[in-house]
Amino acid sequence: MRVHLVNPSDISFGIGVITPRWLYVLAAATPARYGDPIITDETLERFVPENIQAGDVVGIGIHTGNAMRGLEVGRLARERGAWVIYGGIHATLFPEEPKNLGAAHSVVKGDGDIVWAKAVADCVAGTPQEIYDGGRIAADRFLPARWDLSPPGAYMWASVQTVRGCPKHCSFCSVWRTDGQEPRQRTADTVIEEIVQLRRLGFRFIALADDNFYPVTLTDLKQARKQNNTEKIAELEGIRAERFDLMQRLAKLPSDMVFFTQITMEAGEDPEFLDAMREARIKGALVGVEAVTPEGLKAVFKDFNASGDELAARLRTFKEHGVHVLGSFIFGLPTDRKETFDATAALAKAADLTFAQFVMMTPFPGTVDFDKWEKQQGDSVERVDGVPVTRYWLIPGSTRPKHFMEHATMSSEEIRARTQGVWDNFYSFSAVWKRAHCVKSLKSRLAFVLISKLYRQMYANTGISTDSARRKKANRWARWLAKPCQRLFQGKPMPDLAMPASTPRSPFLVLEQ
């Protein structure tokens, strides 16, 4: 009996950009008595059903974007006589789908770190349960990943999660509802151990795969102080101090290492935090800008973001402190008008963003927007070959509608074309070359151009609602660009790298009372 773990994908660039972390965490959760699991990441290579023997256990992780392919993989595995278990955010939200459409024996909801061993053992004993609830485990129970099982040289970035959950409540995001609003933060020791192991293997670039790397803001602390809530103050200061501790330890790792994370714009008001990020070599961060107007931000419950002139200044602060910003914007919000596209393109330039992505509003399950949209559709929901559009991920790409949420003043095609225009504008050769001057040598500039082009190919035109012809074209380009880019990310393995010494706990942080 062998355990297989499959990350489904119908798009493959041949080279993986970021490691799908769940594969290697579940590998760590697989009891040793079953041997090392066989890992298939379909972003690298196609799943081969013939490799499955009757009685094997096959774990499949799905998010909404790869659910359809995942269900197909499950059916293929079951035909071979395997036990089929699903997990991941999509299976957590719709556990009946793997059962009805993906030939599942079991579905694991929530975190798989602990419950996976039981699910496998039950299958081996021939008594699988339909549902296992992994819940939200505490941070000290998160398992470090089995990076020794990752194929050498296959990925550009490894991914290490340092904190799970986010205290905010943006309407388009499912994280705060599935992972919770309480930050579950790993200790610096466990994170650093994993990163050292990755550097030993030759990974120099690490994505800190966090929902929000800045879970405690200065405003949160001020508020707790104002309320004289001593317990809350201690909790928040503890979380913040641990962040600084982690960053001080990252700073002691080999100087060729580069980190990237996701963070809210509020960090732009916290120079001490930004400086610590720079020292830690967290050279870039995805910042969810989403909208450039106060109305747009209100529409997505993100009014803690700045807008107007203040917005560009806030974003520039990151770069002034040595942290490059990948700005993320959403188009198709109810408040968007034709002018919004040009205003966004102008803001992206004025804010001196290093990278940007412009995504079309998509109602992801588990979000407030999805619930509202599904309710609005009611019984008169449009269907494609019998499938309601509120289950759009089950509609093949060739017939899937391109945009789901009707807009009061623009057609879906208009929103798509204008969004495309903003991508083209931001990633035009001259604009990229100008931005490339943020690095010094000619070689680094050329690398910057290559990476910008790869990023654009991978994300523009590959959204969940894009038609297959566009996807194929973007895919061809990305595959062509991925190989040379990947070489830029490789480091020489450092098998003897030692753990950096831990630092005394950071001194108390300077805050106005």
Under the rule (CB under 6 A), what is the footprint of ligand SF4?
A: 166, 168-170, 173, 175-176, 211-212, 264, 288
Contact region with ligand B12 (CB under 6 A), list: 123-131, 170-178, 183-191, 422-430: 170-178
- In angstroms, give the least distance from the CB of 168 to ligand B12: 11
Determine which residue in the list 359, 446, 450, 497 makes contact with ligand B12, applying CB under 6 A.
359
The SS3 call for residue 137 is coil
CA-atom Rg of the chain in angstroms: 23
Cα 295 to chain centroid distance, Å, stands at: 26
89 binds, among ligand SF4, ligand B12, none (CB under 5 to 8 A by kind): ligand B12
- In angstroms, give the least distance from the CB of 302 to ligand SF4: 6
332 binds, among ligand B12, ligand SF4, none (CB under 5 to 8 A by kind): none
**CA atoms of 404 and 70, how far apart (whole Å):** 22
| Sheet strands side by side (includes 57-61) | 38-41, 3-7, 57-61, 83-87, 106-109, 131-133
The SS3 call for residue 16 is strand
Q: Does 332 bind ligand B12 (CB under 6 A)?
A: no
- In angstroms, give the least distance from the CB of 168 to ligand SF4: 4
Q: Does 448 bind ligand B12 (CB under 6 A)?
A: no
| Beta-carbon-side half-sphere exposure of residue 393 (alpha carbons within 13 Å) | 23
Closest chain position to ligand B12 (CB): 87
Contact region with ligand B12 (CB under 6 A), list: 71-79, 107-115, 219-227, 374-382: 107-115
Contact region with ligand B12 (CB under 6 A), list: 289-297, 331-339, 364-372, 380-388: 364-372
416 binds, among ligand B12, ligand SF4, none (CB under 5 to 8 A by kind): none
Q: Are 316 and 352 in contact (CB under 8 A)?
A: yes
Nearest-CA neighbor of 330 among 312, 349, 356?
A: 356
Cα 151 to chain centroid distance, Å, stands at: 21
Residue whose CB is less far from ligand B12, 124 or 446: 124
- In angstroms, give the least distance from the CB of 440 to ligand SF4: 32
DSSP 336-397: --HHHHHHHHHHHHHTT-SEEEEEEP---TTSHHHHHHHHHHGGG--EETTEEGGGGGGS-T
The 8 Å CB, 24+ separation contacts for 136-139 are 136/110, 136/111, 136/164, 136/165, 136/179, 136/180, 136/184, 137/111, 137/113, 137/184, 138/184, 139/163, 139/164, 139/184, 139/185, 139/186, 139/187
Q: Does 124 bind ligand B12 (CB under 6 A)?
A: no
Q: Does 245 bind ligand B12 (CB under 6 A)?
A: no
Strand partners, 356: 327
Which residues, 14 to 43, sit near ligand B12 by CB under 6 A? 18, 20-22, 25-26
- In angstroms, give the least distance from the CB of 181 to ligand SF4: 8
Q: How many CB atoms sit inside 10 A of residue 83's CB?
A: 24
Site string for ligand B12, 196-215 (x = CB under 6 A): -------------x-x----
Contact region with ligand B12 (CB under 6 A), list: 13-21, 184-192, 216-224, 340-348: 13-21
Interface positions with ligand B12 (CB under 6 A): 18, 20-22, 25-26, 59-61, 63-65, 85-90, 108, 111-113, 116, 159, 161, 164, 173-175, 179, 209, 211, 359, 364-366
